[in-house]
Chains A and B, each alone.
Chain A
Amino acid sequence: MRKLKYFSLGLMMLLLSNLAKAQLVIEITSGADQLLPLAVVPFAYDGKGALPADVAQIIENDLKRSGLFEAIPRTNMLSLPSKKEDVHFRDWRLLKSDYVVIGDIRQIDSESFEINFELINVLSQKTVEKHTGLAVKSSGLRDAAHYISDKIYQLLTGVRGAFNTRILYVTAEGDRAAPTYRLQVADADGHRPQVIVESEEPILSPSWSRNGRFITYVMFRDRRPNIFVQELATGKRQKIAQYKGLNGAPAWSPDGRQLALVLSKDGNPEIYIFDIATQKLQRVTNHYSIDTEPSWEPDGKGIVFTSDRGGNPQIYRVDINSKAVERVTFEGDLNTRARMTPDGRYLVTVQKNDGNYHIALQDMKNGRVQILTETYLDESPSIAPNGSMVMYATTHNGKGILAVVSVDGLVKYRLPSAAGEVREPAWSPFFE
């Protein structure tokens, strides 16, 4: 009996370690109407052994995932040039490729490489961009690929790329009645997941500091919610709120000095601002209704939040100086968990219409509202730092997964996990 128990224990741990490695896989479900065709030619490699990462493939996947590009399949390529003088423009014109990306990787020593790449316009035959001597460690090849993707994306769309960013999310795996919760961080494409915190009690509401060095999240301890701030690189963490009642929805201010959070210590849920340097609390809302889910405006002057003070939950804005409150959303049966695009132009919410919860986008200039998603039980929207995409949690085939939709609603892809439930995505800022 005892032996059996140990055996099954070992088996379980084996399974667990596999589950922890299970990463998110991208499934593109729809793209923009007009795709820009381009070819990312496999980079030539001068070195020993196989490269730990196919840089050109990562770039191609990044660009395809943006929903704006169509990649010429490698099997259709008539040649695999790595220098401009080897590019036969007629061939690429025949393949209807507007641009071609070429490059090569040279091994310096066992651990370091040097990458050169060039983006060429097929019609004008001119070089759009050329980079030489990009030095990387072998562990940094994926980062370099995302960096190159960002460059190409910016040159061809005029918008800064957000491929070289990361996401936080929470997984729940194992027995559904008593799962193991893991706060994880991964590349924006779901690769290289790492477990930050593991707990037998729920974890929710992760979010990033503006410089991407710190995170904050809610974790239950001894059946009560606590708010933590943690430095990603060192794992060093501080418990910043453990009051009676709710401790929730922490959100970093744009200047990185304060956190908005929700406490119900004074009776019912209110928005507070916690100053990190002084460790002092300032109350910003004062109403007997539910006030929760604070999110800062990009200029830091106001906070948008969810309140049911009007009868059902809608988004309101509080001015931090005057404490004046105004209602922001009017369409839909309810609106919750607002997030603003970095330019302050759009407000993303979870909107309920006829019993369905979808991600909605409200234009702050003209008030127009567009429903972006058609998935089921959508929640937790988080906006990419370049304002182009919204990652959110949804239910697909009865399972919690992450999905992405572009702010114009045209591009959609899913990031399901091989195992367990995935939820609460938080898109990182740019890493400078």
Chain B
Amino acid sequence: MSVNKLGKMAVIGLSAAWIAGCSTTATETDSSSVSEAEANNVAAESSAASANGSTGNAGDESFGANGNGDLSSVIVDGNGNVVSADTAAAAETAAANAKDMLVGVAHVFYFDFDKSIVRPEAREALAKHAKYLVANPDARVVLEGHADERGTREYNMALGERRAKAVSRYLTIQGVAAAQIETVSFGEEKPLEFGHNKQAWQANRRVEVRYE
């Protein structure tokens, strides 16, 4: 499959995410219980939308660029919510360069139980992220650490952070400036898979690389 085709598919995927994002927002707005954060989200989103609108074709381009980034970024940012659209707008400037450098590069990295050691098979992909960040000093990355459901929630918050920091160290060793990286933990609060079994737990012990 050509890169071009991949890009097109990603555009479709992201557009779907965008539409899903819109309907979610509508629900929030109507439910009169919109928190400040959500209100901010809505504001950010609509400004992103108008920016896209004003430059005509640019909207498509920004999605395409982000989409070309890779398909896993749809998983990372997606979850069918607004964030993906936000990211698309925010990444607009940096994204042009990402186009080639991060095609097909994994954005999710997995860990062993109660461990925070970057696995050998993750190194190649992380090196590519590092290369991109070094080449784009204005780019900012958030490393989001996660844990599986076992154990207590606050301990898992700490464990998720430790994993994100392990990835952060790997990137800084490759020459990425510490100021470009932020580590955040979601603990066990945002699982990717919902089963109570080994397969789900493995999928959930992860660090997601998200460009802001």
Nearest B residue to A182, CB-CB:
B33
Nearest B residue to A267, CB-CB:
B165
Interface assignment of B153: CB less than 8 Å from any CB of chain A: yes
Which residues of A sit under 8 angstroms from B27, Cβ to Cβ?
9, 12-13
Most buried by A among B31, B83, B144, B182: B31
Most buried by A among B36, B81, B151: B151
Establish whether residues B182 and A246, one from each chain, have CB atoms under 8 Å apart when the complex forms: no
Establish whether residues A337 and B33, one from each chain, have CB atoms under 8 Å apart when the complex forms: no
Interface assignment of B123: CB less than 8 Å from any CB of chain A: no
Q: B6-14, B133-141, B188-196: which one contacts chain A?
A: B188-196
Interface assignment of B152: CB less than 8 Å from any CB of chain A: yes
Known: A16-B31, A178-B80. A357 touches B151 (CB 8 A): yes
Interface of chain A residues 1 through 54 with chain B (CB within 8 A): 5, 9, 12-13, 16
Interface assignment of A205: CB less than 8 Å from any CB of chain B: yes
Chain A nearest CB from B192 CB (Å) reads 8
Complex alpha-carbon distance, A249 and B158, angstroms = 11
Complex alpha-carbon distance, A293 and B185, angstroms = 15
Interface assignment of B90: CB less than 8 Å from any CB of chain A: no
User: Please, how many residues of chain B have a CB less than 8 angstroms from a CB on the other chain?
Assistant: 43
Number of chain A interface residues as a range: 35 or more
Which residues of A sit under 8 angstroms from B159, Cβ to Cβ?
290
Chain B nearest CB from A77 CB (Å) reads 45
Establish whether residues A379 and B162, one from each chain, have CB atoms under 8 Å apart when the complex forms: no
Which residues of A sit under 8 angstroms from B152, Cβ to Cβ?
293, 306, 336-337, 350, 379-380
Establish whether residues A176 and B194, one from each chain, have CB atoms under 8 Å apart when the complex forms: yes
Known: A9-B26, A395-B196. A336 touches B155 (CB 8 A): yes
Q: A103-111, A196-204, A273-281, A405-413: which one contacts chain B?
A: A196-204
Interface of chain B residues 22 through 74 with chain A (CB within 8 A): 23-24, 26-28, 30-31, 33, 35-38, 40
Q: Which of B38, B144, B154, B162 contacts A248 (CB 8 A)?
A: B154
Which residues of B sit under 8 angstroms from A416, Cβ to Cβ?
none
Interface assignment of B204: CB less than 8 Å from any CB of chain A: no
Nearest B residue to A291, CB-CB:
B158
Chain A nearest CB from B171 CB (Å) reads 16
Nearest A residue to B31, CB-CB:
A13
Complex alpha-carbon distance, A272 and B60, angstroms = 48
Interface assignment of B150: CB less than 8 Å from any CB of chain A: yes
Interface assignment of A177: CB less than 8 Å from any CB of chain B: yes
- Nearest 6 Cβ contacts at the A-B interface: A202-B189, A337-B152, A290-B158, A249-B154, A336-B152, A269-B158
Interface residues of A (CB under 8 A from B): 5, 9, 12-13, 16, 175-178, 197-202, 204-205, 220-225, 244-246, 248-249, 262, 264, 268-269, 290, 292-293, 306, 312-313, 334, 336-337, 350, 352, 357, 376-377, 379-380, 395, 398, 423-424
Q: Known pairs A200-B37, A221-B36, A379-B151. 18 more at Cβ < 8 A?
A: A9-B23, A9-B26, A177-B80, A198-B35, A200-B81, A202-B186, A204-B157, A205-B154, A221-B37, A223-B83, A225-B184, A246-B158, A262-B154, A264-B161, A268-B162, A292-B155, A293-B154, A350-B151
Pick 7 A–B contacts, CB within 8 A, sort by A.
Answer: A13-B30, A222-B40, A223-B83, A225-B185, A249-B157, A350-B151, A380-B152
